[in-house]
Amino acid sequence: MSSIEVIENLCVGCGLCVKACLYDAIEMVDGVAVIKDNCTLCGACVEPCKFDAIILRKSHRETVSLDDFKGVWVVAEQRAGEIHGVSFELLGRGRELADTRGAPLAAVLLGSNLGDAGRQLIAHGADVVYVVDDPALEHYRDEPYANAVAALIDKYKPEIVLTGGTSVGRSLIPRVAIQVRTGLTADCTALDIDDQEGLLLQTRPAFGGNIMATIICPNHRPQMATVRHKVMTALEPDPAREGEVIEEKLAAELFETSTEFVEFVKDETSTVNIAEADIIVSGGRGLGGPENFGLLEGLANALGGAVGASRAAVDAGWIPYSHQVGQTGKTVQPNLYFACGISGAVQHRVGMLSSRIIVAINKDPDAPIFKVATYGIVGDVFEVLPTLTKKLAAEFS
């Protein structure tokens, strides 16, 4: 069993480890660090200790022969034959990772009546596309999709498997990781190859984006990660790019499920959804009521953006939950985010902090939203928004 230990004669009682602990699991007793029962063995205290007084021993066993696993895979996502943009973005980053590892880049595409959709994945950088085209895969259902991906991983043994951090991707791929008995890191914002051992360094935010953590999967394969939409950059598609599309026939039992797809209902309250949008115009309590959300729509429409909202506006019933940005809503990272009449409580900020440009409009100059804003206007949203919409619309008409 793994263990953690404080070497008492090296510990000077400086308390750095107490501060470094993510779980409040270290205390000072008579000038020496003592690790309490709620320690999770995360190891966050080991590096901050300047006296090498904390040792984490991990017992590990080789479970698979790591050398058998080669190549980088992207599990592509499609609905009604249309491939999700995140799949192309993953191929963009996947191409670089594959080249660094001197290995091929492959995509996996599951569905029904896919036609030549696989060709698009080649145009975006894949060397090989494994296609499973079966009527049982017409609509996304967790079990058949997970079983199919796991079966292909068992057959071809890729070293790295990337999946889009969409609702579907985040449902599908954890089941696959359990089946193939390997690690999975969610919502990575950076993926790199470590120079020494060739491991995939998976960096992601945790604790609501207040902390970044780099995670590895040293003794299991494949190394699996999800990445959200618009984090990586797709390659310019090249229709002339050469690659191979391989039709895979899998055993029918893999597709058995008692889950029944009934229907898909499109959200009619928005033409552009916030998870995909390049520009988001969000409103909060400062808008005063649902009737004023038209001001946000005016600006969003002028710029081709989507309308978002703070929790306060959603809880007040001014706009549906699917528009909520923040800790209990969606995490977004558009190019441009407008926060209008939003004070910027930390619960909201963690959902939009990764936006490239943040514009805050608020009448309170001390509102916390201004601390994260790239640009801000101290003023009344009811005056600022119409003026801003008019001026921007004039620029882009």
**The two structure tokens encoding residue 307:** 């309308």
Segment contacting another protein by CB under 8 A, of 92-100, 105-113, 155-163, 387-395: 387-395
Which is nearer to another protein, 283 or 329 (by Cβ)? 329
Q: 131 or 352, CB closer to another protein? A: 352
Q: Which is nearer to another protein, 187 or 297 (CB)?
A: 187
User: Could you say which of 190, 213, 235, 316 contacts another protein (CB under 8 A)?
Assistant: 213
Shortest spacing between CB 296 and another protein, in angstroms:
16
DSSP labels for 109-172? Answer: EEESS-TTHHHHHHHTT-SEEEEEE-GGGSS--HHHHHHHHHHHHHHH--SEEEEE-SHHHHHH
Does 284 engage in binding with another protein (CB under 8 A)?
no
Interstrand relation of 336-340 and 357-362 (parallel, antiparallel or unpaired): parallel
Distance CA 193, CA 201 (A): 6
By CB under 8 A, residue 273 contacts another protein: yes
Least distance in angstroms from the C-beta of 199 to another protein: 9
By CB under 8 A, is residue 217 in contact with another protein?
A: yes
Nearer to another protein, 36 or 155 (CB): 36
The CA distance from 68 to 60, in Å, is: 19
Report how far apart, in Å, the C-alpha atoms of 145 and of each of 216, 250, 260 are.
Answer: 26, 11, 13
Footprint on residues 298-337 left by another protein (CB under 8 A) = 303, 320-322, 324, 327-329, 335-336
Total residues in contact with another protein, by rule CB under 8 A: 116
Site for another protein in 31-60 (CB under 8 A): 37-44, 47-48, 58-60
From residue 230 to residue 249, what is the string marking binding to another protein with x (rule CB under 8 A)? --------------------
Q: Which of 217, 237, 283, 21 is nearest to 124 (CA)?
A: 237
**Residue with smaller CB distance to another protein, 55 or 246:** 55
Q: Which of 205, 237, 288, 368 binds another protein (CB under 8 A)?
A: 205
214 CB contacts (<8 Å, ≥6 apart)?
201, 202, 203
Of the residues 9, 29, 61, 135, which one makes contact with another protein according to CB under 8 A: 61
Q: How near is the Cβ of 382 to another protein at its closest, in Å?
A: 10
> Cβ closer to another protein: 106 or 359?
359
Window 353-372: residues binding another protein (CB under 8 A):
353, 357-360, 365, 370, 372
Work out the burial of residue 312: count CB atoms within 10 Å of its CB; fewer than 13 is exposed, 13-18 middle, 19 or more buried.
Answer: buried
The Cα 278–Cα 301 span in angstroms is: 12
Work out how close the CB of 33 gets to another protein at its nearest, in angstroms, rounded to a whole number.
13
Using DSSP's 3-state secondary structure scheme, residue 357 falls into strand
Q: Which of 29, 240, 252, 262 binds another protein (CB under 8 A)?
A: 262
User: 207-242: b or e for each residue (b if 16 or more CB lie within 10 Å)?
Assistant: eebeeeeebebeebbbbbbbbbbbbbebbebeeeee
Least Å from the CB of residue 310 to another protein: 13
Please give the residues from 148 up to 187 whose contact with another protein meets the rule CB under 8 A. 166-168, 170-172, 174-175, 177-179, 181-187
DSSP state letter for 67: G
Please state the closest distance from residue 341 (CB atom) to another protein, in A: 15
Q: Report CA-CA distances (Å) from 99 to 56, 70, 104, 127.
A: 34, 12, 8, 11
Please give the residues from 4 up to 33 whose contact with another protein meets the rule CB under 8 A: 16, 19-24
Footprint (CB under 8 A) of another protein, residues 83-122: none
Q: Is the dihedral of CA 309, 311, 317, 323 positive or negative?
A: positive
Distance separating alpha carbons of residues 12 and 53, to the nearest angstrom? 9
User: At its nearest, how many Å lie between another protein and the CB of residue 299?
Assistant: 11
